[in-house]
Amino acid sequence: MTTSVATLQSSSAFVQEYIDIVTGRDPHQPEFLQAVQEVVVSLEPVLERHSQYRDQRVLERMLEPERVIQFRVPWQADDGTVHVNRGFRVGFNSAIGPYKGGLRFHPSVNLSILKFLAFEQVFKNSLTGQPIGGGKGGSDFDPRCRSDREVMRFCQSFMTELYRHVGHNTDVPAGDIGVGGREIGFLFGQYKRITNTFTGVLTGRGPGWGGSLLRPEATGYGAVYFAAEMANTEGKTLEGMQCLVSGSGNVAQYACRKLIELGAIPVTLSDSSGWIHDPAGIDEEKLQFVMHLKNECRGRISEYCEKYSTATYTPTESGASSNALWAVQADAAFPSATQNEINAEDAGNLVAGGVRLVSEGANMPTTPEAQDILVDAGVLLGPGKAANAGGVAVSALEMAQASQRLRWTTEEVDRHLRRIMHDIHAVCLEAAHAYGFERDYRHGANIAGFRKVADAMLDQGLV
Ligand code: NDP
Ligand code: 2IT
């Protein structure tokens, strides 16, 4: 999903100044510019009130990654052909802890996308209240349609360079799009072999070799916990709500599971080829079919309709101005596929279709214009850096368990996760209130995330 540089004209001179700095340096990084713009819009009153941030040029420093590593990843396919991909790791900010953030393997991956994700991660990780800085990495390698052996050879080649730059106290990668338990296993095995150490260098590890219970579930569960917190401010619960979910990967699957558990009714899922609508509701048995289909068989969501006649499948039209999934009548939406999957037209459709609550499982799934349409219509909008922070929060719990050489129970991890999502929700509302953005979670998340990192940077001097 693309973004447009045309959206990057701001009416505020303050915002425009920062956009101009970043655009001047990286004019061809639209996703990064979009993520920066969204944050800078929120920070005007903060920089006005606290002159120390301006004097020490803290925001300018935060807009530039501390380091960017790019490398060649050669690997051999099963048929003997040789392929060359690009590998990246962006260390954006380490003021409050080692770089932490996922790896994305997808053909669309480039520096703009990874810088936007790493920049978002700085604020998200700060909001979790845990000691983790922000980073992101990945490759334009496409693991879909590749055999397990090909994925293993790719992961081994990728880690043969990446191992120099990561470490349990330096930079701790995890999964993201295209990187799940299988890829983390291959990456970890190669790191362990090269360095002769068994450490918590990656999170999302298998439960038998250092992984935290509930890490696979954490992002989706967290997005639903955040939605429940938002609903609660209006005296509501999620029970009985019809929910639109996009994607059908890790985040979408576990968002569905928690929705079902709480008595809500997910009715859609998607992948990059199309989407399904099941008005009868996706129940636990149907979800298990989806999990098997996507995780074991690596199949397509269209196959859902071959199994369940209550559902219809609509292929995605390339070049279409909107995604009809967001036009289905519902109460709540959980975009859980990718960036910019909800544009202004989609947002209008969501409002017209009755949606009153949007919790972003994906990173930056809603364009700035779409966000404004939703918020202006009174929709409760949980931004990704707050709503999907449960994944990285449980990653940090995995790091804590690894350091202690202990393993917590599912119940303990879940209790922490619920508390963290509750606290993030509260912190967003408090920060929004303190700076005049009453009940706007977007501004609250940006401000609260910024202040903790900015104060740490002031404490640590000009480094
Ligand atoms: P997965 O790879 O498990 O699943 C991704 C899903 O999104 C697939 O259904 C995929 O379809 C679809 N998708 C990916 N790219 C596109 C695209 N360009 N257009 C349409 N559909 C697309 O990834 P995750 O579930 O882990 O990640 C989903 C989102 O959640 C991402 O934005 C990620 O950054 C974010 N996130 C993930 C966290 C995690 O812990 N995993 C934590 C926080 C946020 P297909 O199979 O056809 O490609
Ligand atoms: O976007 C994200 O927060 C993730 N992909 C998870 C990062 C992590 O380190 O668990």
Per-residue model confidence as pLDDT tens digits over 40-65: 999 999 999 999 999 999 999 999 99
Q: What is the mean pLDDT of residues 253-260?
A: 98
Q: For the whole prediction, is pTM greater than 0.95?
A: yes
Quick check: CB of 253 below 6 Å from ligand 1? no
Q: What is the mean pLDDT of residues 223-228?
A: 99
Contact 393, 408 (CB under 8 A): no
How remote is the CA of residue 17 from the centroid of ligand 2, in Å? 30
> Looking at residue 316, what is its pLDDT?
94
Q: What is the mean pLDDT of residues 122-146?
A: 98
Instruction: Determine how many CB atoms are found less than 10 A away from the CB of residue 302.
Output: 16
Quick check: CB of 128 below 6 Å from ligand 1? no
Contact 133, 95 (CB under 8 A): yes
136 is a catalytic site residue: yes
Q: Considering Cα of 9, then 15, then 21, then 25, what sign does the dihedral take? A: negative
**SS3 letters across the chain:** CCCCHHHHCCCCHHHHHHHHHHHHHCCCCHHHHHHHHHHHHHHHHHHHHCHHHHHCCHHHHHCCCCEEEEEEEEEECCCCCEEEEEEEEEEEECCCCCEEEEEEECCCCCHHHHHHHHHHHHHHHHHCCCCCEEEEEEECCCCCCCCHHHHHHHHHHHHHHHCCCCECCCEEEECECCECHHHHHHHHHHHHHHHCCCCCCCCCCCHHHCCCCCHHHHHHHHHHHHHHHHHHCCCCCCCCCEEEECCCCHHHHHHHHHHHHCCCEECEEEECCEEEECCCCCCHHHHHHHHHHHHHCCCCCCHHHHHCCCCEEEECCCCCCCCHHHHCCCCEEECCCCCCCECHHHHHHHHHCCCCEEECCCCCCECHHHHHHHHHCCCEEECHHHHCCHHHHHHHHHHHHHHHCCCCCHHHHHHHHHHHHHHHHHHHHHHHHHCCCCCCHHHHHHHHHHHHHHHHHHHCCCC
Q: What is the mean pLDDT of residues 405-430?
A: 98
How remote is the CA of residue 410 from the centroid of ligand 2, in Å? 19
Quick check: CB of 429 below 6 Å from ligand 2? no
Distances (CA, A) of 29 to 36, 58, 120, 409: 11, 22, 15, 42
The percent of residues in the chain predicted with pLDDT above 70, rounded, is: 98
Six token digits for residue 352: 């017209």
Distance separating alpha carbons of residues 225 and 217, to the nearest angstrom: 12
Does position 398 have pLDDT exceeding 70, yes or no?
yes
- Cα angle for residues 425, 426, 432 (degrees, 5° grid): 95
Nearest to 322 by CA among 293, 352, 299: 352
| pLDDT category of residue 1 using cuts at 50, 70 and 90 | low
Domains 1-64+439-463 and 218-382 fall in the same CATH topology: no
Q: Is 149 exposed, middle or buried (0-12, 13-18, 19+ CB in 10 A)?
A: exposed
How remote is the CA of residue 177 from the centroid of ligand 1, in Å? 4
Amino acid at residue number 312: T
Instruction: Determine how many CB atoms are found less than 10 A away from the CB of residue 66.
Output: 18
> Looking at residue 221, what is its pLDDT?
99
Distance separating alpha carbons of residues 241 and 321, to the nearest angstrom: 27
Quick check: CB of 31 below 6 Å from ligand 1? no
The domain 218-382 belongs to what CATH superfamily?
A: NAD(P)-binding Rossmann-like Domain (3.40.50.720)
Among the bound ligands, the one closest to the CA of 398: 2
Domain boundaries, the chain: 1-64+439-463, 67-198, 218-382
Nearest to 342 by CA among 29, 41, 3, 32: 3
Quick check: CB of 248 below 6 Å from ligand 1? yes
Distance separating alpha carbons of residues 214 and 401, to the nearest angstrom: 13
| pLDDT category of residue 5 using cuts at 50, 70 and 90 | very low
Distance separating alpha carbons of residues 463 and 457, to the nearest angstrom: 8
Amino acid at residue number 462: L
Does position 2 have pLDDT exceeding 60, yes or no?
no
Instruction: Mention the CATH class of domain 67-198.
Output: alpha beta
> Looking at residue 12, what is its pLDDT?
79
Measured torsion, CA atoms of residues 425, 431, 437, 440, in degrees rounded to the nearest 10: -10
Phi then psi for residue 65, to 5 deg, are -60, 145
> Looking at residue 318, what is its pLDDT?
87
* CATH code of domain 1-64+439-463: 1.10.285.10
Contact 258, 239 (CB under 8 A): no
- Cα 287 to its chain centre, rounded Å, is 22
Q: What is the mean pLDDT of residues 424-451?
A: 98
Does position 6 have pLDDT exceeding 60, yes or no?
no
Q: What is the mean pLDDT of residues 145-170?
A: 98
| pLDDT category of residue 7 using cuts at 50, 70 and 90 | very low
How remote is the CA of residue 173 from the centroid of ligand 1, in Å? 16
Quick check: CB of 337 below 6 Å from ligand 1? yes
Distance separating alpha carbons of residues 296 and 291, to the nearest angstrom: 8
> Looking at residue 338, what is its pLDDT?
98
pLDDT tens digit sequence for 9-46: 566 788 888 999 999 999 999 999 999 999 999 999 99
Q: What is the mean pLDDT of residues 174-200?
A: 98
Query: Which position among 136, 258, 286, 385 bears the catalytic label?
Result: 136
Distances (CA, A) of 78 to 150, 196, 294: 6, 28, 22
Distance separating alpha carbons of residues 331 and 236, to the nearest angstrom: 12
Among the bound ligands, the one closest to the CA of 120: 2
How remote is the CA of residue 120 from the centroid of ligand 1, in Å? 16
Among the bound ligands, the one closest to the CA of 223: 1
Instruction: Determine how many CB atoms are found less than 10 A away from the CB of residue 377.
Output: 15
